[in-house]
């Protein structure tokens, strides 16, 4: 198989991965607190033996003794990261809908441990606990947040919750030292590297506020994602054409080698 087929194969597989990422971003455009996935590409250069050879000497009849260096490039996926930029805030009027403006995450408790989320679409379950869409308890500074029966629920900018004017708890909003270390776990949850418990730290109250009655929208730009989808599709088609053309040339070469003239 010619080198062009190998390079085109890597390019096609990389674009297939990127297409799946773009499709997932578009599928979650209405998911509260969703953070888009981003991927970057780079060329990985494969060096030939002649690249490590010394330059041709000019004192021997001024002729180049060694062939010119040759470098073969193969496209690779460099890394996949989570875009942590702020999404827009959408007013819902629901007192249990909460949105974080600025850096920070809500802590939730699951059977697999504690996770982080930006999705503040919360509910009060039958046991009076504040939970996520999946029924996971939302953590406060003193444990899971409980909401007693009452008429008016108020949440301040620092996460303090009151029911009919009585303080019932404080929703714990935390930050992480390096957002790039977070990994998506599913269900709008984030975990640490290798599914470890995320390392958290207190938020900077001058930069972070909790808004009641709002939800953070996904930071997905539909137009940009559609343009990326078209670009990926065309790139994939170009790579498959290279593979087909190379295969045809190989077949022609193998057919004509034994022909008599």
143-171 residue pLDDT tens: 899 998 888 999 999 999 999 888 988 99
Contact 99, 114 (CB under 8 A): no
- Neighbour count for residue 36 (Cβ, 10 Å): 23
Residue with tokens 């441990």: 113
Nearest partner of 96 among 252, 213, 228, 219, judged by Cα? 213
Helices then strands (H, E): number in the chain? 2, 19
Distance, in Å, from the CA atom of 184 to the CA atom of 16, rounded to the nearest integer, reads: 20
Span 7-34, average pLDDT: 88
Distance, in Å, from the CA atom of 149 to the CA atom of 228, rounded to the nearest integer, reads: 49
Distance, in Å, from the CA atom of 85 to the CA atom of 158, rounded to the nearest integer, reads: 21
Residue with tokens 């990985």: 44
Contact 202, 107 (CB under 8 A): no
Distance, in Å, from the CA atom of 164 to the CA atom of 32, rounded to the nearest integer, reads: 28
The band of 242, judged by pLDDT with boundaries at 50, 70 and 90, is: confident
Give me the pLDDT at residue 15, please: 84
- Neighbour count for residue 215 (Cβ, 10 Å): 22
Residue 170, burial from CB neighbour count under 10 angstroms (0-12, 13-18, 19+) = middle
Distance, in Å, from the CA atom of 82 to the CA atom of 41, rounded to the nearest integer, reads: 15
Distance, in Å, from the CA atom of 94 to the CA atom of 120, rounded to the nearest integer, reads: 11
Residues in the chain: 261
Q: Is 106 helix (H, G, I), strand (E, B) or coil?
A: strand
Span 188-211, average pLDDT: 90
Look up the pTM and report it: 0.76
Contact 201, 176 (CB under 8 A): yes
With pLDDT > 70 as the criterion, what percentage of the chain qualifies? Answer: 83
Distance, in Å, from the CA atom of 172 to the CA atom of 145, rounded to the nearest integer, reads: 9
Pick from 59-63, 107-111, 140-144, 250-254: least confident: 59-63
pLDDT digits (tens, 9 = 90+) for 82-106: 898 999 999 999 999 999 999 999 9
């Amino acid at each position: 198989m010619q080198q062009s087929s190998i390079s085109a194969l890597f390019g096609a597989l990389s674009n297939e991965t990127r297409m799946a990422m773009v499709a997932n971003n578009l599928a979650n455009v209405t998911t509260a607190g969703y953070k888009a996935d981003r991927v970057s590409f780079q060329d990985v250069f494969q060096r030939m033996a002649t690249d490590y050879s010394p330059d041709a000497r000019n004192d021997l009849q001024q002729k180049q003794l060694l062939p010119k260096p040759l470098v073969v490039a193969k496209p690779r996926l460099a890394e996949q990261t989570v875009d942590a930029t702020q999404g827009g805030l959408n007013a819902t009027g629901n007192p249990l809908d909460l949105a974080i403006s600025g850096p920070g995450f809500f802590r939730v408790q699951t059977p697999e441990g504690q996770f982080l989320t930006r999705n503040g679409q919360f509910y009060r379950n039958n046991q009076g606990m504040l939970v996520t869409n999946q029924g996971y308890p939302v953590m406060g500074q003193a444990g899971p947040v409980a909401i007693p029966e009452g008429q008016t629920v108020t949440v301040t900018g620092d996460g303090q919750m009151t029911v009919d004017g009585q303080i019932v708890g404080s929703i714990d909003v935390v930050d992480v030292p390096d957002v790039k270390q977070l990994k998506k776990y599913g269900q709008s949850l984030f975990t640490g590297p290798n599914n470890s418990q995320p390392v958290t730290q207190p938020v900077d109250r001058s930069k972070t506020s909790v808004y009641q009655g709002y939800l953070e929208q996904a930071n997905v730009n539909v137009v940009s994602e559609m343009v990326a989808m078209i670009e990926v599709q065309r790139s994939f088609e170009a790579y498959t054409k290279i593979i087909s053309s190379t295969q045809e040339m190989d077949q022609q070469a193998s057919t004509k080698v034994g022909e008599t003239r």
